[in-house]
Amino acid sequence: MNDRTAFVTGASRGIGRACALALARAGAKVVVAARNRVKLEEVAGDIRALGRPAMVVEMDQSDSGSIESAFAAAAKEMGPITILVNNAAITKDTLALRMKREDWDTVIQTNLTGAFVCIQQVMLGMIRQRWGRIINISSVVGEAGNAGQANYVASKAGLIGLTKSVAQEIASRNITVNAVAPGFIETDMTAALAEDLKSNMLGRIPLKRFGTAEDVAAAVRFLASDEAGYITGHVLDVNGGMYM
C-alpha cells in the first residue's frame, strides 16, 4: 500500500488486530488504537516484526476529546492518515423492555457516534491527498436484527447508513467509504457464549463453519487497496451465507 498510513480502532485484539496485521503485510504504516496499551504494544510488536512501522495510541472511542487527541498525535508522527478502519465497538445486551437508557446511550455513543467522530478526523486530510479509504466494521445483525441487542444492532445498522451517506459526499475526491458486515466470527467476545447457542448459530451458516478474524481482515485489506477503487457505499458481507 505504498507506505500509506492506516489507523485501526479497536486494534488490541480480534478483528481489529487481524486488520492491523493484514494492512501491515500489504505495505501500510499502521496506527493501532484502543484503551488497552499493553495489548496494543503486543500488536505493534507483531507489526514491527513484519518490517513495518507501527504506532500505539490509547483512545477511548466514547470520548470525542480522546479521539481528537489520538488522531492528531498519529498524524503528527506517521503522516496523513489515508486508510481508516472503524472497528472499535462494545456490547451491553439485554431485551429492549429491560434495557437501561444508559446502556443504550453508551453503545450508540461508542459504536456509532465514535465512528463518526473518527471519520471527521481524517476527511480533510484525505480530501487534500485526493485519495482515501474508510472502512466501517458493521455486523450481520445490523442487517438482519437480533433479539436482545437493540442498542448494538441500531449502532451497526447506523454505520451502514453513515457509510452510504459519507460515500456520496466525498466520492468526487477519490475517497471510498465501505462497510464490512461480519457474521459469527471466532473472537474473545464470541468465545464467552454458551455452547448450545454456538451450536444453534452454526446450524444457520451454509458454509458450516464460524468465520475467523482473518476472513474479515482479508475483506478489509481488499477494500483498502487500489484494486477496490471503483467500489464505494457498499456493504461486504463476510458471514458464511447466514444472511443473504
> If DSSP codes are grouped into helix, strand and coil, which group holds residue 183?
coil
Is 18 part of any domain? yes
Confirm whether 243 is domain-assigned. no
188 Cβ neighbours under 8 A, 6+ residues apart: 13, 14
User: Residue 174 domain-assigned?
Assistant: yes
What is the pLDDT at residue 194?
81
Q: Confirm whether 121 is domain-assigned.
A: yes
Span 28-57, pLDDT tens digits: 999 999 999 999 999 999 999 999 999 999
Torsion of CA 148, 91, 215, 198, to 10 degrees: -40
Q: What is the CATH number of the domain that holds 215?
A: 3.40.50.720
- Residue 190: pLDDT over 80: no
- The domain of 41 spans 5-238
- How many domains are there within the chain? 1
Q: What is the mean pLDDT of residues 16-23?
A: 98
**Per the residue annotation, which of 7, 152, 184, 210 is the catalytic one?**
152
Residue-level length of the chain: 244
User: CA 23 to CA 223: how far, in whole Å?
Assistant: 11
**What DSSP character marks residue 84?**
E
Exposure string over 86-106, b if 16+ CB within 10 A, otherwise e: bbbbbebeeeeeebeeebbee
Main-chain phi, psi angles of 178, to 5 degrees:
-135, 165
pLDDT over 80 (residue 178): yes
- Supply φ then ψ for residue 60, to 5 degrees: -105, 110
Dig out the grid coordinates for 204 from the structure: 444457520
pLDDT at residue 90 is higher than 70:
yes
pLDDT digits (tens, 9 = 90+) for 130-177: 999 999 999 999 999 999 999 999 999 999 999 999 999 999 999 999
170 in a structural domain: yes
Domain annotation covers residue 244: no
- How far apart are the C-alpha atoms of 167 and 213, rounded to whole Å? 25
Provide the pLDDT for residue 188.
73
Q: Is residue 228 part of a domain?
A: yes
Q: Does the predicted model carry a pTM greater than 0.85?
A: yes
Closest CA to 97 of 31, 139, 147: 147
230 is catalytic: no
pLDDT at residue 81 in the model: 98
Residue 122 domain flag: yes
The interaxial angle of helices 114-129 and 150-170, nearest 10 deg, is 20
pLDDT bin (cut points 50, 70, 90) of residue 189 is low
